[in-house]
A and B are shown apart, each in its own frame.
Chain A
Amino acid sequence: MASILISSSEEFSGKSSICMGLGKIFQASGLKVGYMKPVGNLLIDVHGSLTDEDSEGIRKLLGIDDPAKYITPIHLTDSLIDDALKGVEKDLDERLTEAYSIISKDKDIVFIEGTGGIGGGSMYGLSDPEITSKLGTKILLVTRFDSISAVDRILCDIRIIGNNDMLTGLILNEVPISMMDRVSELVVPFLEKKGIKVFGIIPEDDTLRSVFISEIVEDLRAEVLVSPDKLDQLVEHYLVGAMEVGSAIKYFRRQPNSAVITGGDRADIQMAAIDSRVKCLILTGNMRPSGAVLASAEEAEIPVILVRGDTMNTIERMEHLIGHANIKQQVKLDRVIELIKNHLDIPSIAENIGVKLKS
């Protein structure tokens, strides 16, 4: 049985997507795949028991039967933190190793997902490098390459890991298209010269950054006023319609794959958005628009959703939603697998982890 811990220096770097994508690919090649996220930080209630949102999602996507309590044996609750600070012994290591031994049974490979950033969990002895050494596995680092300073972060992460043998290699994720050449021509050779194996560079992807209108509806607890059958479309950006209508038209036309947030009483902005064929209209303040505007939205097949919150509030929610790939939907799932297949050296990853792909 082989295993690997997927770690990153920051949250939202793509760890879950890599676990899910590699898991699917390894399953397809005939391997029995296990998964765990030892420390759950996104706690949700599933059928009366607490578990982690990421691990529950991946468990379902990979079709894993193992009980949730072993997939995520430790929950990052307030009391866990308080106890750690007070020095109360919680037998976390035993829980970890017990869960790992159950999960790894009859598996060819187990993906272990880190929690938050690489050093997170140090206060209770469960940072990613600590878990790695406790379970006797290795780290695969995923870094979101938002700017050149990502190189600094990678080198820092390696210092945190300390032992070079503990690192299998690196995946550079969400690299802006404009930086792809620079990254492959300068950054990758630089890192490899330092003895860091780079398994591939995955470009930034509009589909993964975007969010389904249905997710917006769910997250904002919105009421759908028009075109409920068009919620399966992806929104790449959100725009705020608070300017005068002439500027709004220009603004919307430049980014038509957007959701426009505006007040229910701003019929001019609403019509500018409809005329620019944006993807969705989010009306704030629980103010219903006029029937004539709704009729135009319906003719243009643009969903109009109504939220109770004010515009600021809605912007904050949208800020959180867009850019944080949530891979529950099949379209995104397929896209993740496609990107991994196209941009990562999978045989090399398998070889470095120590598994043999059967087909």
Chain B
Amino acid sequence: MLEKMFNPDSVAVIGASRTKGKVGRAVLENLMQNPKLKIIPINPNVDEILGLPCYPNIMDVPEESKADLAVIVVPAKMVPNAINECGRAGVGNVIVISAGFKEAGIEGARLERECISVCEKYGINLIGPNCLGIIDTASGLNASFAANMAYEGNIAMMSQSGAICTVTLDWAERIGVGFSKFISLGNKAVLAENDFLQLFENDPSTAVIVAYLEGVKNGSEFIKIAQRVSRIKPIIIVKSGRTSVGSRAVSSHTGTLAGSDAAYNAAFKQGGVIRADSLEEMLDYSRAFSVCPLPMGRNIAIITNAGGLGILTADACYNAGLSIASFEETTVARLREKLPAAANFYDPVDVLGDAGADLYEHALDVVLEDLNVNGVIVLVSPQAMTDVPGIAEKVAEKIKQSKKPILCNFAGGSRIAAGEEVLNRYGIPNYSSSERAVASMNALCNYHTIKNREQELPDMLSHNIGSARLFIDNASLEKRRTHGLESMDILKAYDIPVVDSRIAKTLPEAINAADDMGYPVVMKILSPDISHKTDVGGIRLNLKHADDVERSYNSMMSDVRHYMPDAVITGVQLQKMISGGKEVIIGMDRDPQFGPLLMFGLGGTYVEFLKDVSFAVAPISTAEAKHMVSSIKTYPLIAGVRGEVASDIDSIIQTLLKVSQLVTDFPEMLEFEINPLMVMPEGQGCVAMDIRFTLKS
């Protein structure tokens, strides 16, 4: 659908200018770099600009010269009308470079809404407003006011910051990195990251997708699209606003709620996105993907002319979860044939300080043929006798031919510059530190796993939604937002086992209930205003007879009224005392960007302090549920340590899937928590002991 946006035959510039230094002139000059492109300047005050005939209005352009794309650079308040005129003139693709929209305040936001409604009316594809423009190196289009055109390459980049576009272009020009497409997203009024992910998915000139984002516009769609695209091409994203101060800056800058970083991590993981922590990392990864084949495993060989560098790199590999390859016997024997006796023939291979290009070539040839090696990191330090450019030339040749990824760290400063130049000429990245090379190798290995992961759809369970719907509808009618123990029946609609319990409004009722249920029992305060019952003395455990119930009831009421005098108390709940299980928590917070973010963790007093929890965006698949359970650090405690019986992990997974379904079925559920879910030993299931949820008003 965006074919003519990126590969137009003719482009109109609305607000084209003769004046040097103006955006309207810069855009025109950039477009004119492509002699095949028909360019139509629009400006009511002049007849021609830079030798091109000028039209007063886009609607005056004759039908046969109609533009495929219009770039708008007029002041913000004139933009809605300009888009409207594009619509009337049949122009389907528009880039609004002008600023002064939502980022500027109320009036700007109003203009932006107007632009959106005009685009909806005419079905116009709009990029921006408040953007730098776009570049497509395959079609030769530079519809931007960037200072330079990008080199041709296979990396497609989109960025929510115009400045990061220019920084990247400038960096890329210096070292010769090429791009297929370059998109400045601006305010994302109409087209946003999801549209471009789909564009890049089918773009033959794009092999790697990179993005700088401050937020995503439609989180659940994003996950679905990314899941599909990441099976075909790697997606590398830097998402800013990770910390509290960063997210504050995002909110201030864009007028959006940044959303939790845990949600982004979960969504990126589920979508198969490789998350980079910085621009540098994003560019490092993108270059590795741009030139390297994917490794088939995580076993890495290191070739170095300095022992220290080799050890540092081995440490970095280990920390990143990469393995140091264990060579086949023939590899070691062949290395011995040419390398000096003092060399190290095991990984890391030390070719020694005086090694020339030939020894590097030999070592590379040998380790690349080793079936236990999936990728190679080449380290070069500039010794007095080191032929840096010669080694670079040989390594570059090998990289071009290799079916396994090879990344380089020519370490040093001015003495390795000649080597870097050689690598740049071949379009090969040199990582300035071995840690950077290792991080990029790790990204390649991770993507190999992402690309080959099994396609699993979220599990949709069959259940009786009717009774849950009735419950929620009644709660909405009564305008009750926060719910606790008294609402545990909602879990039954999803076949989640619930502890046997009774509600009592008075002490005699409580004693009767306990007598009926049989001792021992647990007594919990019932109050919509109290979320942390333990903190206010609202839980009494292991009550063995009626006297216990009476004493505990009286002291509990006194405690609760003391700690929370204003809380509405509706009674108490008596539960059957359950022992012999382990407590876990299953929760959900509705994230502003991605929707229902499920949380899993071990229960108990230290949980809030340890923050040992895992997240995933619902709906989830069985594999994702399994991963949520097994990825917490304290997993061994549920799996059973030192001869302990394992807990019923399968029942946790089933409960996670049921909660995933529940919170997906009811978007009005804003937060939800089963805390604790008591998990019994393997084969004996689990039971929900307490819940809390909040409904939308």
Please, which residues of chain B bring their CB within 8 A of the CB of A275? 257, 592
Residues of B257-301 whose CB lies within 8 A of A: 257-258, 260
Question: Contacts of B258 on A, CB cut-off 8 Å?
Answer: 245, 268, 271
A58 to chain B, nearest CB (A): 30
Task: Tell me the minimal C-beta distance from A296 to chain B in angstroms.
Answer: 4
Q: Are B481 and A292 in contact (CB under 8 A)?
A: no
B317 CB within 8 Å of chain A: no
Asked whether, in the complex, the Cβ of A294 is within 8 Å of the Cβ of B106, the reply is yes
Q: Is B239 an interface residue (CB 8 A)?
A: no
CB neighbours (8 Å) of B671 from chain A are 250, 253
B570 within 8 Å of A (CB atoms): yes
Bound together, the chains give a CA A293 to CA B251 distance in angstroms of 7
Asked whether A292 and B254 contact (CB < 8 A) given A253-B671, A257-B697, A267-B248, the answer is yes
Residue of A245, A253, A257 near B247 (CB, 8 A) is A245
A203 at the interface (CB under 8 A from B): no
Closest to A273 in B: B257
- Would B109 and A253 count as touching, CB distance under 8 A? no
- Which residues from chain B contact A299 at a C-beta distance below 8 Å? 109, 113
- Residues on A with beta carbons closer than 8 Å to the beta carbon of B589: 246, 249-250
Q: Count residues of chain A with CB under 8 A from any CB of chain B.
A: 32
Question: Interface 1/0s, chain B 584-605, versus A by CB < 8 A?
Answer: 0000010010000000000000
The reply to whether B244 and A291 contact each other, CB–CB distance below 8 Å, is: no
Closest-CB distance, A232 to chain B (whole angstroms): 19
Contact A290 B568 (CB under 8 A): no
Are A254 and B482 in contact, with the CB atoms below 8 A?
yes
Q: Which A-chain residue is minimally distant from B105 (CB atoms)?
A: A291
Chain A residues lying within 8 Å of B592, measured Cβ to Cβ, are: 249, 275
Is A266 interfacial (CB 8 A cutoff)? yes
Q: Which residues of A contact B435 (CB under 8 A)?
A: none
Question: Would you call B103 and A292 a contact (CB within 8 A)?
Answer: yes
Interface status of A298 (Cβ within 8 A of chain B): yes
By DSSP majority rule, is chain A's interface helix, strand, loop, or mixed?
helix
B466 interfacial by beta-carbon distance below 8 Å: no
Contacts of A17 in B (CB 8 A): none
Q: Chain A: which residue is nearest B505 at the CB level?
A: A181
Closest to B253 in A: A292
Given A291-B108, A293-B252, the answer on whether A244 and B694 have CB atoms closer than 8 Å is: no
Residue of A nearest to B249 (CB): A267
A246 near B260 (CB under 8 angstroms)? yes
Given contacts A178-B569, A244-B244, A268-B244, contact A292 B694 (CB under 8 A): no
Contact A178–B256 (Cβ < 8 Å) = no
A254 touching B103 in the complex, CB below 8 Å, given contacts A275-B257, A290-B252, A295-B255? no
Are B244 and A290 neighbours in the complex by a CB distance under 8 Å?
Answer: no
Q: A147-B565, A253-B694 are in contact. Are A268 and B247 (CB under 8 A)?
A: yes
A289 and B252 contact, CB distance less than 8 A: yes
Q: How far is the CA of A203 from the CA of B99 in the complex (A)?
A: 54
Q: Please, what's the 1-or-0 string for A141-157, where 1 marks a CB less than 8 Å from any CB in chain B?
A: 00000010000000000
> How far, in Å, is B339 (CB) from chain A's closest CB?
56
Q: What are the interface flags for A255-266 relative to B under an 8 Å C-beta threshold, 1 for contact and 0 otherwise? A: 011000000001
Cα distance, A298 to B260, chains bound together (Å): 24
Task: Please determine whether B568 and A178 come into contact, CB atoms closer than 8 angstroms.
Answer: yes
8 Å CB interface, B429-456 against A: none
Q: Is A226 an interface residue (CB 8 A)?
A: yes
Residues of chain B lying within 8 A (CB to CB) of residue A242: none
Tell yes or no: B25 within 8 A of A by CB: no
Nearest CB of B to A223, in Å: 14
CB-CB under 8 A from A267, the residues of chain B are 248-249, 251-252
Is the pair A256, B697 in contact by a Cβ cutoff of 8 Å? yes
Contact B106–A271 (Cβ < 8 Å): no
Taking the complex as formed, is A272 at the interface, i.e. its CB lies under 8 A from any CB of chain B?
Answer: yes
CB of B104 closer than 8 Å to a CB of A: yes
Q: Is A1 an interface residue (CB 8 A)?
A: no
Kindly list chain B residues whose C-beta atoms are within 8 Å of the C-beta of A147: 565
The 8 A CB mask of B567-582 against A (1 = contact, 0 = none) is 0111000000000000
Assess whether A268 is in contact with B248, with CB atoms less than 8 Å apart. yes
Q: Which residue of A lies closest to B671 (CB)?
A: A250
Whether A268 contacts B670 in the complex (CB less than 8 A), given A176-B568, A254-B694, comes out as no
Task: Give the nearest-CB partner of A227 in chain B.
Answer: B106
Which single member of A178, A257, A271, A295 contacts B257 (CB below 8 Å)? A271
Residues of B within 8 Å of A271, CB to CB, are 251, 255-258
Report whether B482 and A291 are in contact in the complex, using a CB–CB cutoff of 8 Å: no
Contact B255 A290, beta carbon cutoff 8 Å: yes
Answer yes or no: A173 CB below 8 A from chain B CBs.
Answer: no
B658 close to A (CB within 8 Å) = no
Of residues 28 through 69 on chain B, the ones whose CB sits less than 8 Å from some CB of chain A are none
B244–A296 contact, CB under 8 A? Answer: no
Contact status of A292 and B697, CB under 8 A, knowing A253-B671, A271-B251: no
Contact B105 A295 (CB under 8 A): yes
CB neighbours of A178 from chain B (8 A): 568-570
Cα–Cα, bound, A291→B253 (Å) = 8
Residues of B within 8 A of A246 (CB): 260, 589
B540 close to A (CB within 8 Å): no
Bound complex: CA A293 to CA B252 (Å): 6
B108, B565, B569, B670: the one within 8 Å of A253 (CB):
B670
**Nearest-CB distance from B218 to chain A (Å)?**
15
Interface members, chain B 223-259 (any A CB < 8 Å): 244, 247-258
Given A178-B570, A275-B592, A291 contacting B106 (CB threshold 8 A): yes
How far is A253 from B481 in the complex, measured between Cα atoms in Å? 9
Instruction: Find residues 277-321 in chain A having any chain B CB closer than 8 Å to their own CB.
Output: 289-296, 298-299
Give the residues in chain B near A250, CB-CB below 8 Å: 589, 671, 694
Q: Mark each residue of chain A from 229 to 252: 1 if its CB lies under 8 Å from any CB of chain B, else 0.
A: 000000000000000111001100
B528-572 vs A, CB cutoff 8 Å, 1 = contact: the mask equals 000000000000000000000000000000000000010011100
A177 to B569, CA, bound (A): 10
Q: Which residues of A contact B524 (CB under 8 A)?
A: none
Q: Please tell me if A132 contacts chain B, counting CB pairs below 8 Å.
A: no
| CB of A270 closer than 8 Å to a CB of B | yes
The smallest beta-carbon distance between B504 and chain A, in angstroms, is 14
- Alpha-carbon gap, A244 to B245, bound state (A): 10
Query: Which residue of the partner chain A has the closest CB to B589?
Result: A250
Closest chain B residue to A270, Cβ basis: B251
Q: Which residues of B contact A293 (CB under 8 A)?
A: 251-252, 255
**Is there an interface contact between A292 and B568, defined as CB atoms closer than 8 Å?**
no
Query: Which residues of chain B are near A177, meaning CB under 8 Å?
Result: 568
CB of B251 within 8 A of CB of A268, answer: yes
A244 contacts across to B, CB distance below 8 A: 244
Q: Are A295 and B102 in contact (CB under 8 A)?
A: yes
- CB neighbours (8 Å) of A266 from chain B are 248
Q: How far is the CA of A257 from the CA of B104 in the complex (A)?
A: 29
Chain A residue at smallest Cβ distance from B256: A271
Give the complex CA separation of A275 and B568 in angstroms: 28
Among the interface residues B104, B251, B570, which one has the most CB atoms of the partner chain A within 10 A?
A: B251
Residues on B with C-beta less than 8 A from A290 are 252-253, 255
Q: Which of chain A's residues have a CB closer than 8 A to the CB of B105?
A: 291-292, 294-295
Known A-B contacts A147-B565, A246-B260, A275-B257; A292 and B102 likewise in contact (beta carbons under 8 Å): yes
A254 touches B255 (CB 8 A): no
**A298 adjacent to B252 (CB under 8 Å):** no
Docked Cα-Cα span, A267 to B103, in Å, equals: 13
Asked if B260 and A292 sit within 8 Å, CB to CB, the answer is: no
7 contacts between A and B (CB under 8 A): A245-B247, A253-B696, A271-B251, A271-B257, A290-B255, A292-B104, A293-B255
20 new A-B contacts, CB < 8 A, other than A245-B244, A275-B257, A298-B106, are A226-B106, A245-B257, A266-B248, A267-B251, A268-B247, A268-B248, A268-B250, A270-B251, A271-B251, A271-B255, A271-B258, A292-B103, A292-B109, A292-B253, A292-B254, A293-B255, A294-B105, A295-B102, A295-B108, A296-B255
The 9 closest A-B pairs by CB, nearest first: A291-B105, A292-B255, A295-B109, A267-B252, A267-B251, A296-B255, A178-B568, A268-B248, A271-B251
Give me the interface of B with A, judged by CB distance under 8 Å: 102-106, 108-110, 113, 244, 247-258, 260, 481-482, 565, 568-570, 589, 592, 670-671, 694, 696-697
